[in-house]
Amino acid sequence: MSLRVVIYGVGPIGQLITRAAYEKGFEIVGAIDIDPGKVGKDLGEVAGLGRALGVKIESDADKVLREGKPDVVLHSTGSFLDRVYPQLVKAIRVGSDVISTCETLAWPWYRYPELAELLDNYARNNDVTILGAGVNPGFVFDALPSVLSTTIIRLDRLTVVRSLDASKRRYSFQKKIGLGMSPEQFREALARGEITSHVGFAESVLLTASIMGLRLDKVEEDQEPVIADANYETQYFRISPGQVRGVIGHGSGFVNGKEVIRVELRACVGCEDYEEVRLEGEPSITWRSTGTPGDPATAAVIVNLAPRIINERPGLITLKDLINYAYTA
């Protein structure tokens, strides 16, 4: 059976999801976006498929969902559950499962406990499954170290470092980490919500702890700009000495006052691409990669999980429901 999907959000990530869904042979039955520059255009052309798909991008989500009757909505419009909540409700209302790149949906009880409960009840009542996933949260800081921890008998501390060259990422990523701003502009824009930088440190920490059965007594997160000491240039930004060339941020989870989980992101122009997962305990193991290409990897996670969630229980689920291979506290 071919999976019927609606693409909800046709930004850079939605475009990659479209290409991946096409590659997987999914039946794309609708596309939704509010950007006037995209509405009315063919999805295949906007997504850079090099051919028309016969699917027009429309702004009337209710109409697209009602007429398309998708099995799964592939959603990528925003990072914060309070803003995307009405969109998710529209999909649930027509009986469609949802998999979303919304970072705060990966562990929604942290920032939005009331909305999480509402969403869970609404999904159960409509017999649909809803999942927040992606590359981060959704893979590098949580799913990956969880699976890697399966060979550890006693875990004292988990550290994940993800370092990436921000110049290789999409425009919206480079913008949200404040490239080219002064440090003061960065801090003010972050405080005002004009840029988000990385969203989801705490969600990854809580997701990992939950998969492993660790009871955390405290979670912290923070991020700081990385300042350029030379000139840098990306496809979209020119950065002079003294301006922001990236961010370093982390999330930490504590048990009995001791940091047992630390996830750290170094996203800057000129940074090396790698991920390192350090598991300290019995035995101690370090895994290192040459880097996961974040944007296509996000699309891959979404389309690889989409056929799986249609068989999951109704309600708001997390990656914890899909990962059953991990260290157990």
Ligand X SMILES: NC(=O)c1ccc[n+]([C@@H]2O[C@H](COP(=O)([O-])OP(=O)(O)OC[C@H]3O[C@@H](n4cnc5c(N)ncnc54)[C@H](OP(=O)(O)O)[C@@H]3O)[C@@H](O)[C@H]2O)c1
Residues 276-315 that bind ligand X (CB under 6 A): 298
Half-sphere exposure of 228 (CA within 13 A, CB side): 22
Instruction: Give the number of other CB atoms < 10 A from CB of residue 223.
Output: 20
Nearer to ligand X, 91 or 152 (CB): 91
Binding segment toward ligand X, per CB under 6 A, in 40-48, 76-84, 204-212, 304-312: 76-84
Nearer to ligand X, 155 or 221 (CB): 221
156 lies in the binding site for ligand X (CB under 6 A): no
93 lies in the binding site for ligand X (CB under 6 A): no
252 lies in the binding site for ligand X (CB under 6 A): no
Sorted by sequence, the CB contacts under 8 Å of residue 18 that are 6+ apart come out as: 7, 10, 28, 31, 43, 44, 47, 49
Which has the closest alpha carbon to 207: 267, 251, 265?
A: 251
Nearer to ligand X, 104 or 252 (CB): 104
What SS3 string covers 30-73? EEECCCCCCCCCEHHHHCCCCCCCCCEEECCHHHHHHHHCCCEE
299 vs 29: CA distance, rounded Å: 18
98 lies in the binding site for ligand X (CB under 6 A): no
Sorted by sequence, the CB contacts under 8 Å of residue 193 that are 6+ apart come out as: none
70 lies in the binding site for ligand X (CB under 6 A): no
79 lies in the binding site for ligand X (CB under 6 A): yes
Exactly one of 136, 167, 243, 292 binds ligand X (CB under 6 A); that residue is 136
110 lies in the binding site for ligand X (CB under 6 A): no
Task: Please report, for residues 60, 161, 200, 279, the alpha-carbon distance to residue 287 in angstroms, rounded to integers and kept in the order given.
Answer: 46, 11, 22, 8
135 lies in the binding site for ligand X (CB under 6 A): yes
166 lies in the binding site for ligand X (CB under 6 A): no
Binding segment toward ligand X, per CB under 6 A, in 129-137, 151-159, 213-221, 262-270: 129-137
78 lies in the binding site for ligand X (CB under 6 A): yes
Kindly list the residues in this chain that would bind ligand X in the complex (CB under 6 A): 9-14, 32-35, 76-79, 87, 101, 103, 134-138, 170, 172, 298
